[in-house]
Amino acid sequence: MVTKTEETQLTNLENQVENGGGGAWEYLCLVRKLKVRRSDKVLKHGFAILNDSKKRSSLGPEEWILHEQVAIAAMDCQCLDVAKDCINALQKRFPESKRVGRLEGMLLEAKGSWAEAEKAYSSLLEDTPFDQVIHKRRVAMAKAQGNISEAIEWLNKYLDIFMADSDAWRELAEIYVSLQMYKQAAFCYEELILSQPVVPVYHLAYADVLYTLGGLENLQTAKKYYASTIDLTGGKNTRALFGICLCTSAIVQLTKGKNKVEKESPELQYLAATALEKDYKQRASDKLPLLTSTLRSLKIS
């Protein structure tokens, strides 16, 4: 994740380069370091350096890193001729490189030659079966074609090999949610919480999925994860505070008249409601009557 300091540094350097103040190479290096996408700017300034033989030769071996960076930016911008020229130069310099092979596959993707791209990736995986980038390209390619079931299949196969990839688990969870496959999404969020237990967004997403699934057990668990989200965010997550109130109301409705069911303690929901009212007074006082009315309908205020 890019910090505010890094974002400021990048913006300042970008403005400097855009206004003719120099520092294009330093800017391109920072973009690579921070792993951000500035494709139009990278293409513009990187291509200019590659076309200046003096500047290009001054880079030494890093010239080839720039070829790769410009090739990817050019594909993002659909400047496929530029991308092809960069990849050809890399292929000539590194004829057996699997890394260049990946770029060739990406160019086929950019052209919409899906079958050829898949063939290229399959061939590369025969030699390098644990190449994460190629596995992820297959997922991206399936999504680009609108083939969500295939994207799920590739993601599951990828996670069988790279189980610690939290980004992949989150992507799979979000796909499942979009398809209303909430039980499968819940499993993904459980994996995320196990691997990164102090990331509040995973607790919140898991609670949302359980609340959507419904049922007493799911609601009670959802309430616990809304509470853990509040704890992890210092009590400042409005969505989780609402979640506590909604879960409590739903649980009360489900357990009404059932003597053997453990009754809900009113303390947590009142604390959540109080925190919501305080937050609305400070940040959206004009909407406070609507909040009060909503909480009253849930029999919390």
Q: pLDDT by residue (tens digit) across 141-161?
A: 999 999 999 999 999 999 999
Would you state the pLDDT for residue 253? 87
pLDDT mean over 229-251? 92
Q: Which residue has the higher pLDDT, 301 or 207?
A: 207
Element (H, E) at 170: helix 166-178
All residues at 6 or more sequence positions from 198 whose CB lies less than 8 Å from its CB, including other chains: 232
Whole-model pTM?
A: 0.84
Would you state the pLDDT for residue 43? 97
Would you state the pLDDT for residue 264? 59
In this prediction, residue 138 has a pLDDT band, given cuts at 50, 70 and 90, of very high
Task: Tell me the angle at which helices 266-283 and 216-232 cross, rounded to the nearest 10 degrees.
Answer: 50
Long-range Cβ contact pairs of 232-235 (< 8 A, separation 24 or more): 232/198, 232/199, 232/200, 232/203, 233/200, 235/275
**3 state DSSP class of 200:** helix
pLDDT mean over 186-211? 97
In this prediction, residue 86 has a pLDDT band, given cuts at 50, 70 and 90, of very high
Kindly report which listed range (112-121, 132-141, 252-261) carries the lowest average pLDDT score.
Answer: 252-261
Would you state the pLDDT for residue 262? 53
Would you state the pLDDT for residue 146? 93
Would you state the pLDDT for residue 286? 85
Compute the distance between CA of residue 45 and CA of residue 39 in angstroms, rounded to an integer. 10
In this prediction, residue 69 has a pLDDT band, given cuts at 50, 70 and 90, of very high
Compute the distance between CA of residue 162 and CA of residue 180 in angstroms, rounded to an integer. 25
Which one-letter amino acid corresponds to residue 22? Answer: G
Task: Tally Cβ neighbours within 10 Å of residue 15.
Answer: 11
- Reply yes or no on whether the pLDDT at 257 is more than 60: yes
Compute the distance between CA of residue 198 and CA of residue 228 in angstroms, rounded to an integer. 9
Residue 150 phi/psi, 5° resolution? Answer: -70, -35
Under 8 Å between Cβ of 242 and 249: no
Would you state the pLDDT for residue 301? 52
